[in-house]
Amino acid sequence: MMSTSRATPRLRSFCTCSVRSSSESVPRVNDQRKPSRAPAKVHQKPAKPASATTPKPPLPLGAGVPHTELFVKLAESGTAAIPRRPTLVNETAARELVREWGIDKMHDPVIIDAFAGPGGISRALLELKNVKRVISVEDSLRYMPHLQRLKDQQEDPSRLALVNYDPFSWEAYTKIQQDGLLDDVPKIDWETGGVHPGLFVTCQLPNNRIGEQLFFQFTIAISGKMWYYQYGRMQIGFTGANAYWNKVMSQPGSAAHNKLAVLIPALADLRKINTLQSMTPAERYFHKPRGDSADYGFAKMTPLVKPTVDNFDALEHVTRNMFISRTQTWRRGVTLLAPGASNLIPIMEQAGITLDDVLIRNLTMKDWAIIANVFDAWPFRPKTLFDEGNFAPAT
């Protein structure tokens, strides 16, 4: 029987590695990074008598909001939305979304639903008969009664496991493995096994720096087959602000083109789901604070069988340094990589970069691969390429 897990509050951190002993170092984690907010404090207070407990006043349903169970229960319980954490609660839209992600075509999948909120996506997943188990990861106490009610409604409550941990914290995902919730998930060969048929992650990204960092770390974990990628080419379905999707999917030559828009396609195929973009007004689809004017969309990420570069750390290094001068030519950018790097320009030209005046923001993925691979093969390149002191999805 699977039980609800409750964590001791921790500092916010996320690790893209698989489970390892406490004596081993954790790759790609900036231990010096200050958390965006302090961890929640647990206050021990005497319980009030039932008669003295004042329930929260109900919240009004907005105009046009569906009178479905989730919307009604959230309103009746006075459950306020969390700033910058929109959560999909429109049941019809959630059912459509999980099918757009292709989960209905998977074979006995186990689904991890990160930032599950009150359970809009978890509910839609449980309605799919082919889904073996849903693991809802949510640290907000205001949403736990709604998730518990969803669990109690199941004919087989073991199909829904509740993990009351911060989804940004790597401990949440380690806890899932420690509880044996992934013991029946097979490991699929990365190169020959295709996309993993039985493991999928959904994540409703917060519309803030935490969400951006989590997305970036979910992505770079692909490079070393770390985290849950140890099971194979696992896909991830995201909800997030359309402004962020436009940023990370910006094309070469556009003013918005940035480092992330180069790094992501080197490791994965990230596609926006356009069939669900008509979710306006957002208040009829998401539980979010009044005044939140952002519009939200959906995406799906599939790891590539083989990255487009020989060494992802080399690509991260060259994009981080060259995008500082994104409006300069690529030749100027190469000189910023390391002392003496200008000597690599003739080699890069021989490898296929032929336009002398092409700007850094106009470089194609093929151009970036040439620069990264030539730089990585250079005997005099810096030994340490990944800048842990500057670990962030900077553009």
Structure tokens at 381: 């390149």
Query: Model confidence over 146-204: pLDDT tens digits?
Result: 999 999 999 999 999 999 999 999 999 999 999 999 999 999 999 999 999 999 999 99
Query: Model confidence over 57-90: pLDDT tens digits?
Result: 776 666 667 788 998 999 999 999 999 999 999 9
pLDDT band at 17 (very low <50, low <70, confident <90, very high): very low
Query: Model confidence over 211-248: pLDDT tens digits?
Result: 999 999 999 999 999 999 999 999 999 999 999 999 99
Least confident of 32-41, 236-245, 267-276, 344-353: 32-41
Question: Which 3 state secondary structure label does DSSP give 6?
Answer: strand
365-377 helix and 259-267 helix, angle to the nearest 10 degrees: 80
Q: Which residues pair with 87 in a beta bridge?
A: 287
pLDDT at 283: 85
Residues 8-27 have a mean pLDDT of: 39
Ranges of H-type helices in the chain: 69-76, 91-100, 120-126, 144-152, 170-178, 209-220, 242-248, 259-267, 312-322, 330-334, 345-351, 365-377
Whether pLDDT at 32 is above 90: no
pLDDT band at 131 (very low <50, low <70, confident <90, very high): very high
- Provide the whole-model pTM: 0.83
Taking the CA atoms of 8, 14, 15 and 16 in sequence, report the sign of the dihedral they define: positive
Residues 331-355 have a mean pLDDT of: 92
Query: Model confidence over 273-311: pLDDT tens digits?
Result: 987 766 778 888 999 988 888 889 999 999 999 999 999
- Rounded to whole angstroms, the Cα distance separating 30 from 390 reads 8
Per the omega criterion (within 30 degrees of 0), is the bond before 303 cis?
no
pLDDT at 292: 85
